[in-house]
Protein backbone atom coordinates (compact mmCIF):
# COMPACT_ATOMS: atom_id res chain seq x y z
CA UNK A 1 0.00 0.00 0.00
CA UNK A 2 1.00 3.64 -0.35
CA UNK A 3 1.29 5.98 2.65
CA UNK A 4 1.91 9.71 2.65
CA UNK A 5 2.43 12.63 4.97
CA UNK A 6 4.52 15.74 5.37
CA UNK A 7 4.79 15.37 9.17
CA UNK A 8 6.98 13.41 11.49
CA UNK A 9 6.40 12.54 15.13
CA UNK A 10 9.64 12.59 17.09
CA UNK A 11 10.14 9.47 19.15
CA UNK A 12 13.26 7.92 20.64
CA UNK A 13 15.20 5.86 18.13
CA UNK A 14 14.92 2.79 20.39
CA UNK A 15 11.13 3.17 20.53
CA UNK A 16 10.93 3.41 16.72
CA UNK A 17 13.01 0.23 16.43
CA UNK A 18 10.63 -1.58 18.80
CA UNK A 19 7.54 -0.34 16.95
CA UNK A 20 9.03 -1.49 13.64
CA UNK A 21 9.82 -4.91 15.09
CA UNK A 22 6.16 -5.36 16.01
CA UNK A 23 7.01 -5.89 19.65
CA UNK A 24 4.85 -2.89 20.58
CA UNK A 25 2.19 -0.69 19.01
CA UNK A 26 1.59 1.56 22.03
CA UNK A 27 3.24 4.88 22.92
CA UNK A 28 2.98 6.92 26.09
CA UNK A 29 3.20 10.68 25.52
CA UNK A 30 3.05 13.74 27.74
CA UNK A 31 4.46 16.69 25.83
CA UNK A 32 7.70 18.40 25.08
CA UNK A 33 9.36 21.48 26.43
CA UNK A 34 8.34 23.59 23.43
CA UNK A 35 4.83 22.18 22.86
CA UNK A 36 1.84 24.48 22.44
CA UNK A 37 0.21 24.90 25.84
CA UNK A 38 3.05 22.71 27.20
CA UNK A 39 0.89 19.69 26.31
CA UNK A 40 1.04 16.94 23.71
CA UNK A 41 -1.78 17.09 21.20
CA UNK A 42 -2.73 14.70 18.43
CA UNK A 43 -2.15 17.19 15.65
CA UNK A 44 -1.94 14.52 12.95
CA UNK A 45 -3.51 11.07 12.69
CA UNK A 46 -0.99 9.84 10.09
CA UNK A 47 2.73 10.57 10.14
CA UNK A 48 6.23 9.26 9.71
CA UNK A 49 8.05 8.21 12.87
CA UNK A 50 11.02 10.53 13.28
CA UNK A 51 13.73 8.63 15.18
CA UNK A 52 15.54 10.95 17.56
CA UNK A 53 18.41 10.56 20.00
CA UNK A 54 17.48 13.74 21.87
CA UNK A 55 16.69 12.92 25.52
CA UNK A 56 16.79 9.18 24.79
CA UNK A 57 17.36 7.65 28.21
CA UNK A 58 18.34 4.06 28.86
CA UNK A 59 17.13 4.36 32.46
CA UNK A 60 13.56 4.96 31.26
CA UNK A 61 13.39 1.91 29.02
CA UNK A 62 12.78 -1.60 30.25
CA UNK A 63 16.12 -3.26 30.86
CA UNK A 64 15.73 -5.76 28.00
CA UNK A 65 15.70 -2.82 25.56
CA UNK A 66 18.93 -1.18 26.78
CA UNK A 67 21.02 -2.71 23.95
CA UNK A 68 19.00 -0.62 21.48
CA UNK A 69 20.52 2.58 22.86
CA UNK A 70 23.55 3.40 20.76
CA UNK A 71 26.43 5.37 22.25
CA UNK A 72 26.94 7.81 19.43
CA UNK A 73 26.53 11.44 18.57
CA UNK A 74 23.18 12.23 17.01
CA UNK A 75 23.50 12.05 13.23
CA UNK A 76 22.90 15.16 11.15
CA UNK A 77 20.66 13.13 8.85
CA UNK A 78 17.44 11.36 9.81
CA UNK A 79 16.50 8.06 8.17
CA UNK A 80 12.73 7.57 8.05
CA UNK A 81 11.72 3.92 7.83
CA UNK A 82 8.37 3.84 9.64
CA UNK A 83 4.93 5.35 9.21
CA UNK A 84 2.09 5.28 11.74
CA UNK A 85 -1.65 5.83 11.97
CA UNK A 86 -3.28 6.65 15.28
CA UNK A 87 -5.93 4.01 15.89
CA UNK A 88 -7.03 5.21 19.35
CA UNK A 89 -6.06 7.70 22.07
CA UNK A 90 -6.67 7.62 25.79
CA UNK A 91 -5.99 10.44 28.26
CA UNK A 92 -5.21 8.76 31.56
CA UNK A 93 -5.61 10.78 34.75
CA UNK A 94 -5.09 7.98 37.28
CA UNK A 95 -1.53 6.82 37.91
CA UNK A 96 -2.58 3.30 38.94
CA UNK A 97 -4.40 2.92 35.63
CA UNK A 98 -1.44 4.36 33.69
CA UNK A 99 0.94 1.86 35.29
CA UNK A 100 -1.21 -1.03 34.04
CA UNK A 101 -0.03 -0.44 30.49
CA UNK A 102 3.66 -0.96 31.34
CA UNK A 103 3.65 -4.44 29.79
CA UNK A 104 2.19 -3.11 26.51
CA UNK A 105 4.92 -0.60 25.69
CA UNK A 106 8.69 -0.02 26.11
CA UNK A 107 8.95 2.36 29.08
CA UNK A 108 9.52 1.12 32.62
CA UNK A 109 7.17 2.00 35.47
CA UNK A 110 9.42 4.80 36.81
CA UNK A 111 9.35 6.50 33.41
CA UNK A 112 5.57 6.18 33.20
CA UNK A 113 5.22 7.70 36.65
CA UNK A 114 7.67 10.52 35.87
CA UNK A 115 5.84 11.39 32.66
CA UNK A 116 2.48 11.15 34.39
CA UNK A 117 3.57 13.73 37.00
CA UNK A 118 5.59 15.95 34.62
CA UNK A 119 4.99 19.67 35.28
CA UNK A 120 2.68 18.79 38.18
CA UNK A 121 -0.08 17.96 35.69
CA UNK A 122 -1.14 14.40 36.52
CA UNK A 123 -2.09 12.71 33.25
CA UNK A 124 -0.62 11.21 30.12
CA UNK A 125 -1.75 10.06 26.70
CA UNK A 126 -1.70 6.48 25.51
CA UNK A 127 -1.66 6.00 21.73
CA UNK A 128 -2.42 2.80 19.87
CA UNK A 129 -0.61 2.96 16.55
CA UNK A 130 -0.91 0.99 13.37
CA UNK A 131 2.74 0.94 12.31
CA UNK A 132 3.98 0.44 8.76
CA UNK A 133 7.45 -0.48 7.57
CA UNK A 134 8.53 1.56 4.54
CA UNK A 135 9.71 -0.48 1.57
CA UNK A 136 12.32 2.19 0.93
CA UNK A 137 13.55 4.52 3.64
CA UNK A 138 14.15 8.17 2.90
CA UNK A 139 16.76 10.41 4.48
CA UNK A 140 16.51 14.09 5.37
CA UNK A 141 19.22 16.41 6.61
CA UNK A 142 18.14 17.95 9.90
CA UNK A 143 17.46 21.64 9.62
CA UNK A 144 17.29 24.16 12.49
CA UNK A 145 13.46 23.93 12.33
CA UNK A 146 13.68 20.21 13.11
CA UNK A 147 15.84 20.58 16.23
CA UNK A 148 14.63 20.80 19.79
CA UNK A 149 12.24 19.14 22.14
CA UNK A 150 9.11 19.17 20.01
CA UNK A 151 6.81 16.34 19.02
CA UNK A 152 5.58 17.30 15.55
CA UNK A 153 7.99 18.21 12.78
CA UNK A 154 6.95 19.42 9.31
CA UNK A 155 9.06 17.64 6.71
CA UNK A 156 10.43 19.22 3.55
CA UNK A 157 7.48 18.00 1.45
CA UNK A 158 4.75 15.38 1.32
CA UNK A 159 6.52 12.03 1.10
CA UNK A 160 4.64 9.19 -0.56
CA UNK A 161 6.09 5.70 -0.20
CA UNK A 162 5.08 2.06 -0.34
CA UNK A 163 4.75 0.38 3.03
CA UNK A 164 3.45 -2.75 4.69
CA UNK A 165 1.73 -3.10 8.08
CA UNK A 166 3.96 -4.43 10.83
CA UNK A 167 1.18 -6.23 12.73
CA UNK A 168 -1.69 -8.23 11.23
CA UNK A 169 -5.10 -6.60 11.64
CA UNK A 170 -6.37 -9.29 14.05
CA UNK A 171 -3.40 -8.75 16.37
CA UNK A 172 -3.95 -4.98 16.35
CA UNK A 173 -7.67 -5.46 17.09
CA UNK A 174 -6.83 -7.79 20.00
CA UNK A 175 -4.44 -5.17 21.39
CA UNK A 176 -7.13 -2.50 21.01
CA UNK A 177 -9.55 -4.65 23.01
CA UNK A 178 -6.91 -5.28 25.67
CA UNK A 179 -6.42 -1.52 26.03
CA UNK A 180 -10.18 -0.92 26.22
CA UNK A 181 -10.38 -3.55 28.97
CA UNK A 182 -7.59 -1.80 30.91
CA UNK A 183 -8.33 1.86 30.17
CA UNK A 184 -11.97 2.07 29.12
CA UNK A 185 -13.26 3.59 25.91
CA UNK A 186 -10.73 5.72 24.01
CA UNK A 187 -11.32 9.45 23.72
CA UNK A 188 -10.75 9.25 19.97
Lowest model confidence (mean pLDDT) among 35-39, 93-97, 135-139: 35-39
Average pLDDT over residues 50-71: 90
Average pLDDT over residues 154-174: 97
Pairing of strands 77-92, 26-29: unpaired
Nearest to 142 by CA among 76, 49, 73: 76
**22 pLDDT exceeds 90?**
yes
Whole-number Cα distances in Å, 27 to 50, 63, 115, 138: 14, 17, 12, 23
Q: What local confidence, expressed as pLDDT, does residue 45 receive?
A: 94
The model carries a pTM of: 0.92
Q: What is the rounded CA–CA span in Å between residue 130 and residue 3?
A: 12
**166 pLDDT exceeds 70?**
yes
Label residue 78 exposed, middle or buried (CB < 10 Å: 0-12, 13-18, 19+): buried
Q: What is the mean pLDDT of the chain?
A: 91
Amino acid sequence: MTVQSMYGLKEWDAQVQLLLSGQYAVLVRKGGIIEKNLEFEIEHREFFLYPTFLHQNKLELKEEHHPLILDQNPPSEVAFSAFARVRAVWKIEDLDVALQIEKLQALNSKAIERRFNYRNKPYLHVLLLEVFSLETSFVLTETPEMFGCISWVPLDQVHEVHARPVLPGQQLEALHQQLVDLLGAPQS
